[in-house]
Amino acid sequence: MKRITPRTIGMVLLIVVVGLFTVYPLGMIFYGSFRSDAPGMPGHFTMDGYKEGFTDPTIGKALWNTFSLATVRTVITMALAVFFCWIIVRTDTPFRGALEVLMWINFFIPSLPMAMAWVLLLDPSYGVLNKLLMKLPFIDGPLFNCYSFWGIVWAHIPFSTSVRVLMFAPAFRNMDAALEESARMSGASNLTTLLRVTFPILMPAIVGATLLGYIRSLESFEIELLLGMPAKFFVFSTKVYDLLRWDPPLYPPAMALSSIFLVVIVGLIFFNRWVIQRRQYTTVTGKGYRTTPIRLGKWKYVTLAFVLVYAGVFLILPVSFLIVGTFMKISGMFELPDPYTMIHWVEVLGDPVFSSSLGNSLILCVVAALAGMTIFSFISYISVRTKLPGRGVLDFMSWLPWTVPGLLLAVGLLWVFLEGIPYFKFMYGTMYILIIAMIIKELPMGVRVMDGTMVQINKELEESARMSGAGWFYTFRRIMAPLLIPTYTATAVMIFLAAMRDISIVVLLYSPKSRVLSILMLEHYIGMAPEKGMVVGLIITVICIGTAITARAFGMGLRSENG
C-alpha cells in the first residue's frame, strides 16, 4: 500500500478546490435547468424550462442568431487577420512594427465604448455618416443601421481581428521563408504564393486558432446588448440576461437555454480537437530556417495604405467620436445651436457612485491580478514541472473555463453561491464573488502563459536545489519565482485589463455595493444617460490603453517581436 504523503494530500485538496470553481458550476447549470425556482429558494424538479425552451420561438431564434453571428464574424475576421499577419510578418511593408502595435492597441480597447461611438456614426436617425451620405442627391434614406445583424458584425471586427492577428502571428513567424522563395522562383506571384503555399501550410494553426476563437466569440454580450436589444435582436447571452431580468426572474427557461448551449459548446470543443489532431504539417524543423521578408516593390505602399485605412476606420474614427460624445448635451443631436457641454464630466466625476465604482474596479483588478498570478503559477508548476498523480486532471480543469462563455459561467456561479454551497451564500453580491469569478475566467489564459515560461526553465536548477536539501516549496519560492517575475507581471497586467473592461462575468453577480465601472457604464448607457455612459467608457478606455502602453514600455512581457 502506497504511503499518503503531504504532497499527495495537498494535490488532492488543490484538485478539489479548482474543481469546485470550474467543474461544479457547470454541473449546477444542469441542476438549475430542472428546478422550478430561483437559486436559494424552495422549489421542485420540473421539465418546464425545457418545454418552454423547445416551444418558445424566440429562444430558438436567439440560438440561431448566436451561431450565425459568430460564423460570419469569424470568416470575415479570419480573412483579415491572415492578410494582416502576412503583411506585418512576411512582407517588407514600411512601418510594419507600428502597424502591429495598432492591432495590439485594438485588442486592449474595451468593446462597449467603441460600440457607443458607432451608434453616433451609424444610427439610422442621427448617425453622422448617414447624415452626410443623405446629402448626396441620389441617396434618399440612411444607408447604415447599427441596430442590425450587420451592425453588430461591423462593431465586432476591430477586436476580433486583433485577437486573431495575435493568435496567428507566431505561426507566420516560425514558417521558413525558403518555402515561399521556391514558389516565386517557379514563377508564382506574391498573391499566388500566399494562397497556394503560405495559407495551406499554416492551415492547421489557423484552423485550430479559428475554431477556438469561434467558441470564444459565442460568449459576446456587450455589443449584442447595446446594438441588438433596440431591434429585439437576441443572442444566447442577451436572451439569458433578459430572462433573468424579469420580475420575477424566469430561471427555468434561462437555465434550460444555458444547459443546451453548454452541450453545443462541448461538442464544438471535441470537434476542434479532432480537426487539430487529423491535420498536421511541419513548418519548423531541426534545420535552420529563414524569415526573410517578401519584397513587394511598389505594392508595399498599397498594403501600407490598406492597413492605415483600416486603423483609421476602426480605431481613430470611433475613438474620436467617443471623445466627442462625452461632450454632447444630447447624444447624437449635432444640429443643436450649442451642442457641446462639460456638464456630463462634472456630474460623473462628482458622483459618489462613480467614486465607489472606481474604487471597486481597482480592488477587483488589483486583487484578481495578484491572487491570479500566484494561483496560476502554482497550477502551472504542478502540471509542467512535477510528476504528481492527478496533474493531468488539474491541467484539464484549468483549461475548462476557456470553453464556457462568461455569462454562462456567471449563471453557474450564481447557483453555486446561492444554492450549491450554503456557506458561500454570504458572498453573493460582494467583491469576493467578483474576484473569484474573474480569477476563474482568466484561469486558462493565465496558466497557458505560465506554462510557456515553465517549460523553458532548465530542470537542473531545481535538481541542484533539491540535492542541497531544499523542499519543493522552498525551491519554487527561491528558484522558480524570481525567474518568473516577467511572466508574473505580464499575467497580472492581462488580468488587470480583463477585470477592468469585463461585463459578462459580473453582470449577474454584482450588487449596488459591488458595482464596478464597466457595470456603471452599462447602466448609464442603457438607462437615460448615454452621455454619462460614454464618459465612463472613455475613462475605462484610457485606463486600459494607459496600462497596456505602460506595460509595453517597461517590457512587461507584452512586447511584440516586430515592435
Residues 110-156 have pLDDT tens digits of 888 999 999 999 999 888 999 888 888 888 888 899 999 999 999 99
Per the structure, the count of domains in the chain is: 2
Q: What is the pLDDT of residue 187?
A: 66
> Within a domain: residue 444?
yes
Nearest to 234 by CA among 370, 62, 50: 62
> Within a domain: residue 292?
yes
348 shares a domain with 365: yes
Q: What is the pLDDT of residue 347?
A: 93
Nearest to 88 by CA among 72, 73, 104: 104
Q: What is the pLDDT of residue 434?
A: 94
Q: What is the pLDDT of residue 97?
A: 74
360 shares a domain with 271: no
CA 443 – CA 481 distance, rounded (Å)? 18
Q: Is 24 helix (H, G, I), strand (E, B) or coil?
A: helix
User: Could you tell me the three cell numbers for 237?
Assistant: 447571452
Spell out, as residue ranges, where the chain has pLDDT lower than 50.
1, 279-290, 557-563
Q: What is the pLDDT of residue 292?
A: 64
Provide the domain limits for residue 205.
60-313
- Does the predicted TM-score (pTM) go above 0.85? no
Q: What is the pLDDT of residue 153?
A: 94
* Helix residue ranges per DSSP H, 286-390: 299-311, 317-325, 343-349, 352-385
CB half-sphere exposure, 311, CA atoms < 13 A: 16
Q: Which amino acid is at 59?
A: I
306 shares a domain with 202: yes
Place of cell 493565465: 446
If one counts every other C-beta atom within 10 angstroms of the C-beta of residue 195, the result is 12
User: Could you tell me the three cell numbers for 183?
Assistant: 514558389
Residues 6+ apart with CB under 8 A from 302: 296
Place of cell 482568466: 442
Buried b (16+ CB within 10 A) or exposed e, 541-556: bebbbebbeebbeeeb
Q: What is the pLDDT of residue 25?
A: 87
> Within a domain: residue 286?
yes
CA 115 – CA 36 distance, rounded (Å)? 37
> Within a domain: residue 496?
yes
Among residues 262, 292, 313, the one where a domain terminates is: 313
Among residues 281, 313, 345, the one where a domain terminates is: 313
Q: What is the pLDDT of residue 542?
A: 93
Label each residue of 365-421 as H, E or C. HHHHHHHHHHHHHHHHHHHHHCCCCCHHHHHHHHHHHHHCCHHHHHHHHHHHHHHHC
Please report, for the domain that includes residue 208, its CATH number.
1.10.3720.10
> Within a domain: residue 393?
yes
State the sign of the Cα–Cα–Cα–Cα dihedral 481, 484, 490, 494.
Answer: negative
